[in-house]
Structure 1
C-alpha cells in the first residue's frame, strides 16, 4: 500500500512512522509504502514551530531538526528577543521555543538578566512602537532625569532618551524628576544620600544644617527654599546656598528683610514659618520680648527675626494723642438726682517702658480710673452746682487722673464731660422753672417799657401845651404819615381845625 503526501510551498511537514519521528518534509509530493506513515503539516506563515515532544526530538534527532529550526533555549537568568521578519517577540526564562527557518527571516538574541536588565539601545530603536511581554519601555524627556528602581530599590539615574528593561521576574519602574524645578520631591532622600553617593555627587547638592544654622537656597537669584536647623535637603546642582549662623545674631539685616519680606509674594510665603516679623509704623515705638523677657525698643520700620528655638512677642505702641471714651455712666448727684454722663479724655504715652512694665492693660486701667474719678466728682455736687459750673467736674477729674498716671509715663492733654443727660421728669421740671423765670423777666421788661413810654408822652404833652408851634408841627407830622398810605386827601375847612373837623379820604 502506497501513501502520498502533498506539502504546499508555504508549508513544512514532519513524517512519522508509527508515531516515531522519521524526517522533515519540505514542499512537494512525497510517496511512501505501507499504511503506518503519517505527516504533521505546519504553516510557515506562523513561524513558531509548536512541535510536540520538542525536547525529546532535539535530544534524539538534532542533526535532522536544527537545519530547519531556530532553537531558542533560556535558563532561569536569561531572556530572549526573537525577530520574525518585521515582528518581534520575547522568550521568558526557563523556556524552549522553536521557529522555522527559511520562509520568514528569523533571528534570536539571548540576554543575561543577572548582568543587566536594560535592553541595548540598538534593540530599543528596533522595537519602538511594539508592545512585548516581559519588556517595560520608558521615555525620559530632555527636561527630566529618570530614577530606575528594581524591586523598589534605586539602581541608577537615567539621562533623557528611550529605555527598555526586562521585567519578567523583577518589578521595574522609573520615577521621572523635572530638571526645570531645582528642588523636586526626591523619593527617600535620606536613602539616596546615605547609600548612593555616586548619584549625589554627579547630580545633586546636599544641604545639611547644624542646630544653630539656617539656610537660604536660591536658584537664578530667586529664593526657592528656607531650611530650618538640623534639616537635610537635596537639590539639583546649580543652586546657591547661603548658610546663616543664628546662635548669636537672630535679627535679619536690611538686605534680607528686603528680599524675604518686601520681595515677591512667593518668597514671603516661604519665609512665613521661619520669621517673626513686626512692622512699627511712624510715630510708634516697638517693644521686643524673647522668651517672655524684654530685649529692646524698636524704631519705626520693618523688623524680622529667625524664630527657631525662641518665643517672640512684639508690640507697637502709639505715641500720638489718643482718645478714650467713658460713656453712659449713671451716677447719683449729691441731692440724689440720677444722671447719665459721657466723658472723653485725650492722653499720650510719654514713657513706653513705664507704661508697659507697670500696667498689664493700659486702656482698661485708664477707663477704670476715669470712671472712678467721674463718679467721685459728680457724687460730691448737687444738680444745681453741676449745671452752674460743669468745668469744675473737668478740673476735678483732670487732677485725679493725672495724679494716678504720672508714675506710669502717661500724660493727659484734656479731660471733659461731653453730656449730662437728665431724667425725663427732672427735665420737665427744669423746663417749667426756666419758663417761669423767663416769663417773669419778660413781664418786668414790659412794665419798664410801658412806664418809660407813658413818661415820654407826658413830657411831650407838656411841651405842646406851652408851645403852639410844636403842636402845629406834630399835626403836620401826623398828616405826612397818613399821606404815605393814600393817594389823595380832601380837607374841608382850614388847617386850623384839621384834627377836629371831618376828614374825608377818597382812595382811587
Structure 2
C-alpha cells in the first residue's frame, strides 16, 4: 500500500478527477490511486513590499516600504481561488498604504514619522487575503522617506527649537541668579552685622579691617 507522509505544520490537498477529495494533516496517510497531492505550508511567512512613491494629502511625494506577516488560513482557497494569491495581498498592501498616506499631510507625517494607522491598513489587507485563503497577521510599515529638501527643513526646525529651549533655560538661570542676589542684598540691608561678618569671611588672610561700632573703631583680622 502506497502512503504519503505530511510534515508538521503542513497539509496536503488531495485531488482526483479534477475535484478536491480531502485535506490531509500532518502524519502518514494512504495514497489513493490516480489522486494528486499538493503540499501547503501553514507556517507564518513574510512578504516584503518594495518601496513605492506615494502622494500625501497636500500633494508631496514620499517613499514608503512595508512588510506583511502572513500564513495560509484556508488551504483549499489558497490553492484554488487565485493563481498567485500573494499577488493579491501585495496589491492590497500597496493600495492600503496609498490610502493611509493620502489622508495625512506632510507636516503631520514629518512629526509622526512612520507611525501610520497600521491597524486600519492591516484590516484592509486582511479582508483581501481572506478571499484567497491567506490570514494576514500584521502589516508593518518599515520606512516613510521624506524628500531631501523636506528632511532638511524638518531638521532645521528641530535645531531652532532646541536652540530656543537652550536660550530659555539660560534666561531662567540668569533670572534665578539675579533674584538670589536681590534677596541677599535685602537681607544685608536689614541686618548690617551680616554684611560685616561676610566682609570678614571674604577678606584675604592677614588683612586688617576697620569696623565702626557705636561711633568707635575696632580692627579685626581677615580670615
Contact 1:292 1:313 in 2 (8 A): no
Contact 1:325 1:343 in 2 (8 A): yes
Cα distance change of structure 1 residues 299 and 477 upon mapping to structure 2, 3 Å threshold: farther
SS at match of 1:328: strand
Q: Equivalent residue for 1:299? A: 25
Structure 2 distance, partners of 1:452, 1:363, is 65
Alpha-carbon offset, residue 462 of structure 1: 0.5
Q: Equivalent residue for 1:286? A: 12
Contact 2:5 2:27 in 1 (8 A): yes
Q: Equivalent residue for 1:361? A: 84
TM-score (norm 1): 0.37
Structure 1 distance, partners of 2:155, 2:106, is 14
Structure 2 distance, partners of 1:441, 1:295, is 72
Moved over 4 A (4+): 302-307, 472-479, 494-497
Cα distance change of structure 1 residues 328 and 462 upon mapping to structure 2, 3 Å threshold: same
Cα distance change of structure 1 residues 492 and 303 upon mapping to structure 2, 3 Å threshold: same
Q: Does 1:324 align with 2:50?
A: no
Q: Deviations over 1:424-455 (max 9, x none)?
A: 22211211122122222322232233222212
Pick the aligned partner of 1:312 from 22, 36, 44: 36
Q: Equivalent residue for 1:33? A: none
Contact 2:110 2:154 in 1 (8 A): no
Cα distance change of structure 1 residues 316 and 478 upon mapping to structure 2, 3 Å threshold: farther
Q: Equivalent residue for 1:449? A: 173
Contact 2:63 2:145 in 1 (8 A): yes
Pick the aligned partner of 2:195 from 468, 471, 475: 471
Structure 2 distance, partners of 1:353, 1:368, is 21
Contact 2:53 2:61 in 1 (8 A): yes
Q: Deviations over 1:192-218 (max 9, x none)?
A: xxxxxxxxxxxxxxxxxxxxxxxxxxx
Alpha-carbon offset, residue 463 of structure 1: 0.8
Q: Deviations over 1:356-414 (max 9, x none)?
A: 33232222221111111111211232112223444443133123113323444433332
Q: Does 1:461 align with 2:181?
A: no
Structure 2 distance, partners of 1:473, 1:353, is 96
SS at match of 2:123: helix
Alpha-carbon offset, residue 332 of structure 1: 2.0
Q: Does 1:492 align with 2:207?
A: yes
Structure 2 distance, partners of 1:338, 1:446, is 40
Structure 2 distance, partners of 1:449, 1:367, is 56
Pick the aligned partner of 2:141 from 409, 417, 437: 417
Structure 2 distance, partners of 1:313, 1:414, is 30
Pick the aligned partner of 2:2 from 252, 258, 264: 252
When the two chains are superposed, the root-mean-square deviation of aligned CA atoms in Å is: 3.1
SS at match of 2:117: helix
Q: Deviations over 1:262-281 (max 9, x none)?
A: xxxxxxxxxxxxxxxx6532
TM-score (norm 2): 0.78
Q: Equivalent residue for 1:386? A: 109
Counterparts of residues 58-137 of structure 1 (less than 5 Å): none
Structure 2 distance, partners of 1:362, 1:476, is 91
In structure 1, runs of 5+ residues without a counterpart are 1-250, 254-277, 480-488, 498-502, 504-508
Pick the aligned partner of 1:374 from 81, 94, 97: 97
Q: Equivalent residue for 2:216? A: none
Q: Does 1:395 align with 2:119?
A: yes
Alpha-carbon offset, residue 342 of structure 1: 1.5
Structure 1 distance, partners of 2:200, 2:31, is 102
Cα distance change of structure 1 residues 426 and 387 upon mapping to structure 2, 3 Å threshold: closer
Higher share in helix? 2
